[in-house]
Amino acid sequence: MASVNSNNSNDSKPFVVLREVSKNYFNFRALDNISLEINEGEIFGYIGPNGAGKTTTMKILVGLISDFQGEVLIGGCRIPKQKEEIHKLLGYLPQNVAFQEWRTVNHALTTFGRLSGLTAKQVESRIPEVLNLVSLSDVRHKKISQLSGGMTQKVGLAQALLHEPKLIILDEPLGGLDPLSRHQFKDVILELGKRGTTILFSSHILSDVQDVADRIGILSRGRIRQVGTLNELKTRMSIQKTIEVLLSQASDKWQELRSLRDVKSVEQVSPGRILANLDANANADEVINDLIQSIVRLRIKVRGVTLLSPSLDEIYLKHVQEGENA
């Protein structure tokens, strides 16, 4: 199996299951034997470079692609056999959401609400709620073709939320949004997560994934490279441990920190910013303790001492590069 540590650490039951799923477009292998489980009520961030297979995975899950190998289950129903059952459970925002040009926001939401099984009365009461949630109440009767790209994206989110689905799949939902809209979008995702909705979303903006995802999956060249919480990914990653020391007053005494146990090298990367790189097996807490004692002894004036941990960007780059080299 191509998945790496794909099980969640908590006890929730998996709502979305992909087992050894592969998909070819002629000679191009878009997905290569991927396995993944997403638990009920979990917000799962799916990241990877362009062409990694994120959209293909999502299209398989929503039933838009049905000729694939492997097994896909959503809420116990099998794709593509029980597609209609699954479609009652899910809301989907495609990467390039598009509506017929003549539709107003209200008309689009009414149609999609009715097609999702809501009664006319339910649709009438849900539309103001979802429009309020995505801050679009004032454009309810406007034509979608007259709205900006960001607003159209919000209408796309509104149609995905309208029928209160158990699973929401969002393909690059934050692309093309201004910072305020991105913030609002993230709030909506977090709010839905609190209500127990299972969410799978992909993004290129890693800080956004970091902000909202309970777990993250890194995909590269059609294979899942890593799955886990951000902390799990950081722990698993064998990036050199580094301690950052910020001096409040210029001094050359920092060079004496080189003699500390388990410190491999010390360098001043910019005026007043010292980085101490530790040996691979060093206990960072003990080194920090020794370092602080030395700073006090040497009377070096410092503003702060921080153990640098790899960011999601670093983790992402490492695994994507590994994938590219594989």
Partner 1 sequence: MKLSLLYFDELKGFYKSKVMLFLWVGLPLVAVLFRFIQYGSTGQAISFTVISALIVSSLAGNLAAVMLAVSIINEKNRHVYELFLIRPIKRRDIVLAKFLSVYTCVAVASLIAVSAGVVADYLTANAFPATILNDTVQSLTISLSMVAVSCSAGVLIGIGAPSVLVGAILVLYGGNQISVIPLVPTMLNLPEASLFTVGLAAAVAASLLVGAVALFERKQF
| Contact positions vs partner 1 (CB under 8 A) | 59, 62-67, 84-85, 87-88, 90, 92, 94, 96-103, 107, 111-112, 114-117, 156, 159
Q: What is the sign, positive or negative, of the torsion defined by CA atoms of 137, 138, 143, 144? A: negative
- Tell the smallest beta-carbon distance from residue 132 to partner 1 (Å): 21
User: What's the number of CA atoms in the CB half-sphere (13 Å) around residue 182?
Assistant: 16
- Tell the smallest beta-carbon distance from residue 123 to partner 1 (Å): 11
User: Toward partner 1, which CB reaches closer, 156 or 310?
Assistant: 156
- Tell the smallest beta-carbon distance from residue 169 to partner 1 (Å): 9
User: Toward partner 1, which CB reaches closer, 34 or 157?
Assistant: 157
User: Toward partner 1, which CB reaches closer, 59 or 318?
Assistant: 59
Structure tokens at 239: 């990036």
Write the DSSP symbol of residue 296: H
Helix (H) or strand (E) holding 169: strand 167-171
- Tell the smallest beta-carbon distance from residue 83 to partner 1 (Å): 8
- Tell the smallest beta-carbon distance from residue 309 to partner 1 (Å): 39
276 Cβ contact list (under 8 Å, min separation 6): 242, 243, 244, 245, 257, 260, 263, 265, 266, 287, 291
- Tell the smallest beta-carbon distance from residue 277 to partner 1 (Å): 49
Instruction: Order the strands of the 223-228 sheet from edge to edge.
Output: 90-93, 167-171, 198-202, 43-47, 215-220, 223-228
User: Toward partner 1, which CB reaches closer, 99 or 254?
Assistant: 99
User: Toward partner 1, which CB reaches closer, 89 or 260?
Assistant: 89
User: Toward partner 1, which CB reaches closer, 94 or 173?
Assistant: 94
User: Toward partner 1, which CB reaches closer, 88 or 301?
Assistant: 88
- Tell the smallest beta-carbon distance from residue 82 to partner 1 (Å): 11
User: Toward partner 1, which CB reaches closer, 88 or 258?
Assistant: 88
Strand pairing report for 263-270 and 242-247: unpaired
Q: Helix %, strand %, coil % for the chain, to 5?
A: 40, 30, 35
Asked if 227 contacts 216 with a C-beta cutoff of 8 angstroms, the reply is yes
Asked if 318 contacts 237 with a C-beta cutoff of 8 angstroms, the reply is yes
Exposed, middle or buried: residue 125 (CB in 10 Å: 0-12, 13-18, 19+)? exposed
Q: What is the sign, positive or negative, of the torsion defined by CA atoms of 124, 128, 134, 140? A: positive
Backbone phi and psi for residue 111, each to the nearest 5 degrees, phi listed first: -60, -50
Distance linking the first and last C-alpha atoms of the chain:
16
- Tell the smallest beta-carbon distance from residue 223 to partner 1 (Å): 22
